[in-house]
C-alpha cells in the first residue's frame, strides 16, 4: 500500500508538471518543457529544420524568436530574420558581435582561417585576400580556367548524357565543376573530377561529411557533441576521418607547390623576368600566399598550418556555395518555362545566330535578366541557410530583445527569403523581375535584406567570382540544352550547413542547338 501511494504521488507530480507546461506553452510557438526546454521540438523537426523555422518566424511579431535549450546545456539561442537586427549586428555594431570562441570550436576543422578568425587576424587575412582576388592576374586566371572547365569538363559530361539519354545528377556534376575550378584557382592544380566517367573524389566526399557533422553540432547541446567527439562515435567519428583526408590532401598540395617554386628559382635570372613569369603562369592563390609581398607587409606567417587553413576556407567558399546556387537555380529555371524562355531570349542578344555556343565571361557580364534570376534563386535557396554570432558585451537589439555573452544570435537566411514583411505577398514565387528596375537595370537590395553574400565588413570577397562562374555555366547550359526533371524525383533541402538537395538533382538532358 505504501509503494502504491509513492507511485501515485509521483504520478500526480508528473501530471502537475505536464499541466503547468501546457498552461505556460498554450500560446508559444514551440513548447518549453521543464528542464529539457524546447529541445524535443528541435529534434522532432530537424529533418525539415529550414521550413520549420520559416513557419515559426512567420508567426512572430518582430521576426525574432528565443529558443530555450535544456537547463544544463547553455543552449540559449536568439533567432532572427528582422533586417534591422541583421544590420545592427553585421554593420552598425559589428565589433560587439564577432564569430566568437563557440563558433571557432564548432568549425574547428577550419583552423585559424578567415572564416573563423576575429580581430586583427581577420583584418590581416581579409586585406591580403582582397588584394589577391582583385588582382588582374587572378581575373585572367579565372577567365581561362572557367572557359576550359565548361568547354572541356561540363560539356563532355552533358553530351554523354544526351547521347545515352541517361539520368544524371546535376548537383554532383556542379559540385565536381566547382571543386575543379576552385582547386585550380586556389592551389594551381586541377584534380580532374569533372569527366564523363565521374571518378570518386575522397577530398570532396570528406568536405560533405564534415559539413553534415558540423550541422549536428548546431542541433545537439554542446556538452553532448563534445562527448561524442571525445569518444569518437557517430557523426564525430566521420568528421575525424574526413579531417584526416583533408589534412593529407592539402598537405600534398602545399609540399608540391613549395617544391615547384623552389625548382623555378634558378630559371629566373632577374627580378623583372620573375614578375613577368608570375603574371603569366603563377596566378593561383597558394603561390601568391607563399611568394606575395602583401604577406610580409601585414606580418602574415605563411607556414604550412596557415596555408592548410587558408586552402580549406577558400575551397569551401568556392566549391560549396557556387555549386549549391547552380543546383537550385537550374531546378527553378527548368520548372518555370516562362523564366527559361526569357533567359533564352536575352541570350539571343549575345548570340543572335542561334548556333551552339559556349559563352565567354564578357558576353554574360551585362545580362540583366539572367543576373536577376540568379539573385532570385539565391534569395529562396541561400547556399548558407543560417549563421550565428556571439555578443561580447550585453546589448539590446533594435527589436528590443536583450542579449548577453552566453546568447547565441542566429540569422536564418532561408527563412528571410520567405518573409512577406521583407519581400511582399509573392515572397514564395520565383520572380526574377523583382530584381529589375523600371529602367531595365539591376535592382540592388541592401545586404541586410539579401544576405546571401553576407553583410557589413564581412561581405563576401568572392561575390563577383561566384557570379562570373554561375553566369557562364548557366548561359551555356540554358542556350544549348533542355534540362528536365526525372519523373518522380523528389526535391527538398538537406540538413547541413550548406543548402544542398537531399537526393541530388536527377535530370535528363537533351541538345537544343545543332
- The single-letter DSSP state of residue 167 is E
pLDDT for res 32: 52
Query: Whose CA is closest to 50, among 405, 414, 377?
Result: 414
Give dist(CA 297, CA 131) in Å, integer.
Answer: 12
Q: pTM score, two decimals? A: 0.88
CA 264 to chain centre: 36
What is the residue-averaged pLDDT of the chain?
85
CB-based contact 414:381 (threshold 8 Å): yes
Give the pairing type, strands 408-412 and 76-80: parallel
Query: Whose CA is closest to 387, among 361, 354, 416, 419?
Result: 416
Is 359 buried (19+), middle (13-18) or exposed (0-12) by CB count in 10 A?
buried
In the chain the domains, ranked by start, together with CATH numbers, are 37-94+118-511 (1.10.630.10)
Give dist(CA 470, CA 452) in Å, integer.
Answer: 14
* Residue 395 three-state SS: strand
CA 208 to chain centre: 12
Going 221 to 222 to 225 to 228, the CA torsion angle's sign is negative
Question: Residue 68 to residues 28, 53, 74, 92, 472: CA-CA distances in angstroms?
Answer: 12, 14, 9, 27, 45
pLDDT for res 28: 43
Give the pairing type, strands 386-389 and 167-169: unpaired
CB-based contact 68:38 (threshold 8 Å): yes
Placement of cell 514551440 in the chain: 30
Q: Please report, to the nearest 10 degrees, the dihedral formed by the alpha carbons of residues 102, 108, 110, 116 taken in order.
A: 20
Going 119 to 120 to 123 to 125, the CA torsion angle's sign is negative
* Phi-psi label, residue 356: left if phi above 0, alpha if psi -120 to 50, beta otherwise: beta
Backbone angles phi, psi at 484, to 5 degrees: -130, 140
Give the pairing type, strands 76-80 and 64-68: antiparallel
CB-based contact 89:457 (threshold 8 Å): no
- The single-letter DSSP state of residue 30 is S
Angle formed by the axes of helices 136-149 and 119-134, to 10°? 70
**pLDDT tens column, 372-409:** 999 999 999 999 999 989 999 999 999 999 999 888 89
pLDDT tens for the chain, 514 residues long, are 444 444 344 433 343 444 444 334 433 445 554 555 555 555 565 667 788 888 888 888 789 987 765 555 566 788 899 999 999 999 999 999 999 888 999 999 999 999 999 999 999 999 999 999 988 889 999 999 999 999 999 999 999 999 988 999 999 999 999 999 999 999 999 999 998 888 888 888 899 899 999 988 887 878 888 999 999 998 999 999 999 999 999 999 999 999 998 887 665 545 554 454 445 456 789 998 988 755 554 567 789 999 999 999 999 888 899 999 999 999 999 999 999 999 999 999 888 777 889 998 889 988 999 999 999 999 999 999 999 899 999 999 999 999 998 888 989 999 999 999 999 999 999 999 999 999 999 999 999 999 999 999 999 999 999 999 999 999 999 999 999 999 989 999 988 889 999 999 999 999 986 5
pLDDT for res 6: 42
Give dist(CA 87, CA 447) in Å, integer.
Answer: 8
pLDDT for res 296: 52
* Phi-psi label, residue 100: left if phi above 0, alpha if psi -120 to 50, beta otherwise: left
Give dist(CA 311, CA 258) in Å, integer.
Answer: 14
Give dist(CA 433, CA 257) in Å, integer.
Answer: 46
Query: Whose CA is closest to 311, among 99, 103, 115?
Result: 115
Give dist(CA 22, CA 31) in Å, integer.
Answer: 8
pLDDT for res 483: 96
* Phi-psi label, residue 32: left if phi above 0, alpha if psi -120 to 50, beta otherwise: beta
pLDDT for res 14: 40
The residues, any chain, with a CB within 8 Å of residue 343's CB and separated by 6 or more, are 333, 369, 370, 373, 474, 478
Radius of gyration of the chain (CA): 25
Give dist(CA 321, CA 211) in Å, integer.
Answer: 12
Query: Whose CA is closest to 415, among 85, 82, 47?
Result: 82
Neighbours of 140 (CB within 10 A): 13
Give dist(CA 226, CA 220) in Å, integer.
Answer: 10
Backbone angles phi, psi at 406, to 5 degrees: -95, 0
CB-based contact 512:480 (threshold 8 Å): yes
* Residue 62 three-state SS: coil
Residues forming a β-bridge with 389: 409
Amino acid at each position: 500500500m505504501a509503494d502504491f501511494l509513492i507511485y501515485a504521488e509521483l504520478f500526480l507530480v508528473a501530471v502537475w508538471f505536464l499541466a503547468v507546461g501546457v498552461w505556460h506553452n498554450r500560446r508559444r510557438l514551440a513548447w518549453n518543457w521543464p528542464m529539457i526546454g524546447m529541445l524535443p521540438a528541435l529534434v522532432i523537426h530537424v529533418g525539415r529544420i529550414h521550413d520549420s523555422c520559416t513557419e515559426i518566424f512567420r508567426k512572430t511579431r518582430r521576426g525574432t524568436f528565443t529558443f530555450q535549450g535544456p537547463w544544463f546545456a547553455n543552449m540559449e539561442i536568439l533567432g532572427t530574420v528582422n533586417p534591422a537586427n541583421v544590420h545592427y549586428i553585421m554593420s552598425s555594431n559589428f565589433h560587439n558581435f564577432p564569430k566568437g570562441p563557440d563558433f571557432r570550436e564548432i568549425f574547428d576543422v577550419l583552423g585559424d582561417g578567415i572564416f573563423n578568425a576575429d580581430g586583427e587576424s581577420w583584418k590581416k587575412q581579409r586585406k591580403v585576400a582582397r588584394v589577391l582576388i582583385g588582382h588582374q592576374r587572378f581575373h585572367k586566371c579565372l577567365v581561362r580556367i572557367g572557359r576550359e572547365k565548361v568547354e572541356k569538363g561540363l560539356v563532355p559530361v552533358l553530351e554523354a548524357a544526351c547521347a545515352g539519354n541517361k539520368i544524371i545528377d546535376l548537383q554532383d556534376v556542379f559540385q565536381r565543376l566547382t571543386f575543379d575550378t576552385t582547386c585550380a584557382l586556389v592551389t594551381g592544380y586541377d584534380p580532374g573530377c569533372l569527366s564523363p566517367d565521374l571518378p570518386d573524389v575522397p577530398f570532396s566526399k570528406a568536405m560533405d561529411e564534415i559539413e553534415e557533422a558540423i550541422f549536428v553540432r548546431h542541433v545537439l547541446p554542446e556538452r553532448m557533441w563534445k562527448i561524442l567527439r571525445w569518444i569518437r562515435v557517430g557523426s564525430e567519428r566521420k568528421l575525424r576521418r574526413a579531417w584526416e583526408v583533408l589534412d593529407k590532401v592539402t598537405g600534398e598540395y602545399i609540399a608540391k607547390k613549395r617544391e615547384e617554386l623552389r625548382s623555378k628559382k634558378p630559371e629566373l635570372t632577374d627580378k623583372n623576368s620573375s614578375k613577368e613569369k608570375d603574371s603569366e603562369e603563377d596566378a593561383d592563390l597558394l603561390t601568391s600566399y607563399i611568394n606575395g609581398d602583401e604577406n610580409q607587409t601585414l606580418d602574415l606567417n605563411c607556414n604550412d598550418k596557415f596555408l592548410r587553413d587558408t586552402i580549406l576556407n577558400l575551397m569551401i567558399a568556392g566549391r560549396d556555395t557556387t555549386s549549391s546556387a547552380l543546383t537550385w537555380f537550374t531546378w527553378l529555371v527548368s520548372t518555370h518555362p516562362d523564366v527559361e524562355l526569357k533567359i533564352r531570349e536575352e541570350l539571343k542578344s549575345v548570340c543572335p545566330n542561334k548556333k551552339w555556343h559556349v559563352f565567354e565571361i564578357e558576353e554574360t557580364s551585362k545580362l540583366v535578366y539572367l543576373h536577376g534570376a540568379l539573385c532570385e534563386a539565391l534569395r529562396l535557396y541561400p547556399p548558407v541557410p543560417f549563421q550565428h554570432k556571439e555578443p561580447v558585451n550585453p546589448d539590446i537589439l533594435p527589436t528590443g530583445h536583450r542579449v548577453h555573452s552566453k546568447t547565441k544570435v542566429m540569422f536564418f537566411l532561408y527563412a528571410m527569403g520567405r518573409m512577406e514583411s521583407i519581400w511582399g505577398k509573392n515572397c514564395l514565387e520565383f520572380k526574377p523581375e523583382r530584381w529589375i528596375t523600371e529602367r531595365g537595370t539591376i535592382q540592388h537590395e541592401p545586404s541586410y535584406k539579401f544576405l546571401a553574400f553576407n553583410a557589413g565588413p564581412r561581405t563576401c570577397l568572392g561575390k563577383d567570382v561566384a557570379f562570373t562562374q554561375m553566369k557562364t555555366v548557366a548561359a551555356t547550359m540554358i542556350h544549348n540544352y533542355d534540362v528536365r526533371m526525372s519523373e518522380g524525383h523528389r526535391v527538398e533541402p538537406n540538413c547541413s550547413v550548406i543548402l544542398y538537395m537531399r537526393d541530388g538533382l536527377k535530370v535528363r538532358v537533351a541538345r537544343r542547338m545543332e
